[in-house]
Amino acid sequence: MRIDIVSLFPEFVTQVAGHGVVGRAQERGLLALHGWNPRDHAEGNYRRVDDRPFGGGPGMVMLIDPLRACLAAARAADPAPAKVIYLSPQGMPLTQAKVRELAGEPRFILLCGRYEGIDERLVAAEVDEELSIGDYVLSGGELAAAVVVDAVARLQEGALNDAESAAQDSFAADGLLDCPHYTRPVEHELGTVPEVLMSGNHAGIARWRRQQALGRTWQRRPELLDEAALSAADRKLLEAFKAENP
Ligand code: 9D3
């Protein structure tokens, strides 16, 4: 998959994506990132990329033309058609379902705004989708773009190790929070490890983990349970958890 990043700080995104799973995906040829800077497509000695908002008010707005030229250059670098995704606080919230959808595309372009945002005419003419990563204020779209790249890269076939893939299968798929994890030592000043995890009873361990996942989701993110497809066995485990943790 190919992802083009249009940003005043494209290296910011490509650098973040140089480490860990995403870096490995690039080394394995599963992901190619390309940064594009609208400043390189701006005219004049000052290479302006922004101007004051019509109607007044604080902040600056990104100019249409440098962004349009930059998007055209990014598009032309590869013959495959590419959706343009604008990261903005006004976008629909990014979800794992959206991440899965994007992970199946051969390529797409991430458009990052700075200042107050982008001239709305450029958005109307060039943007296919607008995405937010949550209800808090960032200084620009770059961190959000890095989030999209990370989440999408790890879903590319072969990006995760076997162990990482197995963990992905059992949990992330069903929309529940994860169970708690423990490692050595068994006895520690901060406490001991739940008995069941050392029992060797694999069915018992699986049941405990499922119950913890259900219970913690109920405690911390009850709205996620509305969307989760719970079996009759899940409901019993959750009721037992509730009884023990009122
Ligand atoms: C209320 C006036 N502005 C804040 C001083 C609005 C505003 C403009 C630009 C708020 C944030 C931004 C920059 N943010 C993004 O480009 C952004 C973002 C975010 O801030 N939160 C969550 N997801 C995203 S995706 C892009």
- The CATH code of the domain that includes 225 is 1.10.1270.20
Distant-in-sequence, close-in-space partners of 148: CB < 8 Å, separation ≥ 6: 85, 87, 94, 99, 102, 110, 131, 133
Q: What is the pLDDT of residue 166?
A: 64
Cα 103 to ligand 1 centre (Å) = 24
Distant-in-sequence, close-in-space partners of 33: CB < 8 Å, separation ≥ 6: 2, 3, 4, 5, 13, 14, 17, 26, 149
Helix/strand/coil (H/E/C) assignment for every residue in 75-96? HHCCCCCCEEEEEEEEEEECCH
Task: Give the model confidence (pLDDT) of 117-139 as tens digits.
Answer: 999 999 999 999 999 999 999 99
Q: Which atom of ligand 1 is nearest to the CA of 91?
A: 25
115 assigned ligand-binding residue:
no
Q: Which atom of ligand 1 is nearest to the CA of 132?
A: 23
Give the domain-ending residue among 153, 177, 207.
153
Residue 159 is assigned to a structural domain of this protein: no
Q: What is the pLDDT of residue 25?
A: 97
Same domain (yes/no): 184, 87: no
Q: What is the pLDDT of residue 169?
A: 54
Same domain (yes/no): 38, 126: yes
Same domain (yes/no): 67, 138: yes
Residue 161 is assigned to a structural domain of this protein: no
Distant-in-sequence, close-in-space partners of 222: CB < 8 Å, separation ≥ 6: none
Same domain (yes/no): 117, 201: no
The set of protein residues with a Cβ atom below 6 angstroms from ligand 1 is 87-89, 113, 116-117, 132-134, 136-138, 140-141, 144
Give the domain-ending residue among 153, 181, 210.
153
Task: Give the model confidence (pLDDT) of 207-227 as tens digits.
Answer: 999 999 999 999 999 999 999
Please count the CA atoms within 13 angstroms of the CA of 6 that sit on its side-chain side: 29
Helix (H) or strand (E) holding 129: strand 129-132
Whole-number Å distance between alpha carbons of 23 and 17:
6
| From 138, 143, 149, mutation site for ligand 1 pocket: most ligand atoms within 8 A of C-beta | 138
Q: Residue 178 burial (CB < 10 Å; 0-12/13-18/19+)? A: middle
> Which residues in 136-145 are b (16+ Cβ under 10 Å) and which e?
eeeebbbebb
Q: Which residues are bridge partners to 80 per DSSP?
A: none
| Ranges of the chain with pLDDT below 70 | 166-172
Which residue type, as a one-letter code, is found at position 159? A
Whole-number Å distance between alpha carbons of 87 and 66:
17
Whole-number Å distance between alpha carbons of 66 and 149:
24
Q: Residue 104 burial (CB < 10 Å; 0-12/13-18/19+)? A: exposed
Residue 137 is assigned to a structural domain of this protein: yes
Residue 158 is assigned to a structural domain of this protein: no
Residue 176 is assigned to a structural domain of this protein: yes
Question: Domain count of the chain?
Answer: 2
Active site residue 184: no
Q: Which atom of ligand 1 is nearest to the CA of 139?
A: 13
Same domain (yes/no): 140, 172: no
Active site residue 128: no
Q: CA nearest 90: which of 132, 61, 30, 148?
A: 132
Give the domain-ending residue among 153, 184, 215.
153
Q: Quote the domain boundaries for residue 144.
A: 2-153
Same domain (yes/no): 143, 183: no
Which residue's alpha carbon is at the smallest distance from atom 9 of ligand 1? 116
78 assigned ligand-binding residue:
no
Same domain (yes/no): 186, 149: no
Tokens of 10: 């494209």
Measure CA of the first residue to CA of the last residue in the chain; give whole Å.
Answer: 47
Tokens of 109: 């372009």
Q: What is the pLDDT of residue 107?
A: 98
